[in-house]
Amino acid sequence: MIRVEAESAADPRTAWALLARPDRWHRWAPHVRGAVGLGSPEVTAGSRGAALLAGVVPIPARITAKEEGTWWAWRVGPLDIGHQVLPRNGGCTVAAELHAPGPLEPLVGAAYGPIVRRLVSNLAREAERTALAGETIPS
Protein backbone atom coordinates (compact mmCIF):
# COMPACT_ATOMS: atom_id res chain seq x y z
CA MET A 1 0.00 0.00 0.00
CA ILE A 2 1.12 3.53 -0.81
CA ARG A 3 -0.40 6.32 1.30
CA VAL A 4 -0.09 10.02 0.60
CA GLU A 5 -1.40 12.75 2.93
CA ALA A 6 -1.59 16.54 3.00
CA GLU A 7 -2.79 18.89 5.70
CA SER A 8 -5.38 21.55 4.92
CA ALA A 9 -6.69 24.46 6.98
CA ALA A 10 -10.07 23.95 5.30
CA ASP A 11 -13.13 22.56 7.00
CA PRO A 12 -13.46 18.81 6.31
CA ARG A 13 -16.85 19.35 4.62
CA THR A 14 -15.24 21.63 2.04
CA ALA A 15 -12.50 19.12 1.28
CA TRP A 16 -15.06 16.31 1.09
CA ALA A 17 -17.23 18.22 -1.39
CA LEU A 18 -14.23 18.65 -3.68
CA LEU A 19 -13.15 15.03 -3.28
CA ALA A 20 -16.48 13.22 -3.57
CA ARG A 21 -18.10 15.25 -6.38
CA PRO A 22 -16.96 14.38 -9.90
CA ASP A 23 -18.07 17.81 -11.16
CA ARG A 24 -15.42 19.37 -8.85
CA TRP A 25 -12.49 17.05 -9.60
CA HIS A 26 -11.09 19.36 -12.28
CA ARG A 27 -10.43 22.00 -9.60
CA TRP A 28 -7.64 19.94 -8.03
CA ALA A 29 -6.96 17.33 -10.74
CA PRO A 30 -6.84 19.40 -13.94
CA HIS A 31 -6.50 16.34 -16.18
CA VAL A 32 -9.86 14.95 -14.94
CA ARG A 33 -12.91 16.71 -16.34
CA GLY A 34 -15.56 14.82 -14.44
CA ALA A 35 -17.11 11.41 -14.73
CA VAL A 36 -20.08 9.54 -16.12
CA GLY A 37 -21.99 6.88 -14.26
CA LEU A 38 -20.11 7.15 -10.96
CA GLY A 39 -22.79 9.07 -9.08
CA SER A 40 -24.23 12.56 -8.90
CA PRO A 41 -23.71 14.86 -7.23
CA GLU A 42 -21.38 12.57 -5.22
CA VAL A 43 -19.83 9.23 -6.07
CA THR A 44 -22.12 6.33 -5.19
CA ALA A 45 -20.91 2.97 -3.88
CA GLY A 46 -21.48 0.21 -6.41
CA SER A 47 -21.70 2.51 -9.40
CA ARG A 48 -19.80 1.75 -12.61
CA GLY A 49 -18.77 4.31 -15.14
CA ALA A 50 -15.73 6.25 -16.22
CA ALA A 51 -13.56 9.17 -15.20
CA LEU A 52 -13.07 11.57 -18.11
CA LEU A 53 -9.44 12.47 -18.77
CA ALA A 54 -9.03 15.71 -20.69
CA GLY A 55 -12.81 15.65 -21.03
CA VAL A 56 -12.81 12.98 -23.71
CA VAL A 57 -10.85 9.85 -22.74
CA PRO A 58 -13.06 7.59 -20.60
CA ILE A 59 -11.19 5.55 -17.99
CA PRO A 60 -13.45 2.73 -16.73
CA ALA A 61 -13.93 2.72 -12.96
CA ARG A 62 -16.15 1.26 -10.26
CA ILE A 63 -16.88 2.88 -6.89
CA THR A 64 -16.22 0.02 -4.46
CA ALA A 65 -17.06 1.65 -1.11
CA LYS A 66 -18.11 4.89 0.49
CA GLU A 67 -18.37 6.16 4.04
CA GLU A 68 -20.26 9.44 3.79
CA GLY A 69 -18.15 12.50 4.55
CA THR A 70 -14.90 10.66 5.22
CA TRP A 71 -13.89 8.01 2.70
CA TRP A 72 -14.57 6.52 -0.72
CA ALA A 73 -12.71 4.05 -2.89
CA TRP A 74 -12.68 2.97 -6.48
CA ARG A 75 -11.12 0.37 -8.71
CA VAL A 76 -9.43 1.68 -11.83
CA GLY A 77 -7.79 -1.04 -13.89
CA PRO A 78 -5.69 -3.15 -11.52
CA LEU A 79 -5.55 -0.38 -8.88
CA ASP A 80 -7.70 0.11 -5.82
CA ILE A 81 -7.54 3.75 -4.74
CA GLY A 82 -9.02 5.07 -1.52
CA HIS A 83 -9.69 8.75 -0.83
CA GLN A 84 -10.05 10.10 2.70
CA VAL A 85 -10.81 13.29 4.62
CA LEU A 86 -9.99 13.23 8.33
CA PRO A 87 -11.00 16.12 10.61
CA ARG A 88 -8.29 17.63 12.79
CA ASN A 89 -8.02 20.74 14.91
CA GLY A 90 -7.93 23.72 12.60
CA GLY A 91 -8.77 21.83 9.42
CA CYS A 92 -8.40 18.37 7.97
CA THR A 93 -6.05 15.83 6.50
CA VAL A 94 -6.71 14.64 2.97
CA ALA A 95 -5.24 11.35 1.85
CA ALA A 96 -5.08 8.79 -0.93
CA GLU A 97 -4.12 5.14 -0.67
CA LEU A 98 -3.07 3.06 -3.63
CA HIS A 99 -3.19 -0.73 -3.64
CA ALA A 100 -1.83 -2.73 -6.56
CA PRO A 101 -1.30 -6.45 -7.03
CA GLY A 102 1.97 -7.67 -5.49
CA PRO A 103 4.77 -7.00 -7.97
CA LEU A 104 2.98 -4.00 -9.51
CA GLU A 105 2.87 -1.98 -6.29
CA PRO A 106 6.50 -0.77 -6.31
CA LEU A 107 6.17 0.17 -9.98
CA VAL A 108 2.91 2.03 -9.32
CA GLY A 109 4.55 3.79 -6.38
CA ALA A 110 7.48 4.92 -8.50
CA ALA A 111 5.45 5.96 -11.54
CA TYR A 112 2.14 7.18 -10.10
CA GLY A 113 3.13 8.00 -6.50
CA PRO A 114 4.59 11.45 -7.30
CA ILE A 115 1.49 12.35 -9.32
CA VAL A 116 -0.83 11.30 -6.49
CA ARG A 117 1.29 13.29 -4.02
CA ARG A 118 0.84 16.39 -6.16
CA LEU A 119 -2.92 15.81 -6.59
CA VAL A 120 -3.45 15.36 -2.84
CA SER A 121 -1.51 18.59 -2.22
CA ASN A 122 -3.62 20.31 -4.88
CA LEU A 123 -6.78 19.12 -3.13
CA ALA A 124 -5.60 20.47 0.24
CA ARG A 125 -4.76 23.86 -1.30
CA GLU A 126 -7.99 24.06 -3.32
CA ALA A 127 -10.05 23.31 -0.22
CA GLU A 128 -8.27 26.18 1.58
CA ARG A 129 -8.77 28.52 -1.37
CA THR A 130 -12.44 27.60 -1.57
CA ALA A 131 -12.91 28.18 2.15
CA LEU A 132 -11.03 31.50 2.10
CA ALA A 133 -13.13 32.72 -0.82
CA GLY A 134 -16.22 31.96 1.24
CA GLU A 135 -17.48 29.73 -1.52
CA THR A 136 -20.09 27.18 -0.58
CA ILE A 137 -20.42 23.99 -2.52
CA PRO A 138 -24.07 22.98 -2.67
CA SER A 139 -24.99 19.51 -1.46
Q: What is the pLDDT of residues 1-38, one digit of tens each?
A: 899 999 999 999 999 999 999 999 999 999 998 899 99
Instruction: Tell me the domain boundaries of the chain.
Output: 2-29+67-132
Which pLDDT value is given to residue 137?
A: 64
Superfamily of domain 2-29+67-132: START domain (3.30.530.20)
Nearest to residue 112, comparing CAs of 100, 102, 121, 101? 100
Structural Rg of the chain based on CA atoms: 14
C-alpha 116/C-alpha 130 separation (Å) is 21
pTM of the entire structure?
A: 0.92
Which pLDDT value is given to residue 21?
A: 96
| Range 47-54 average pLDDT | 95
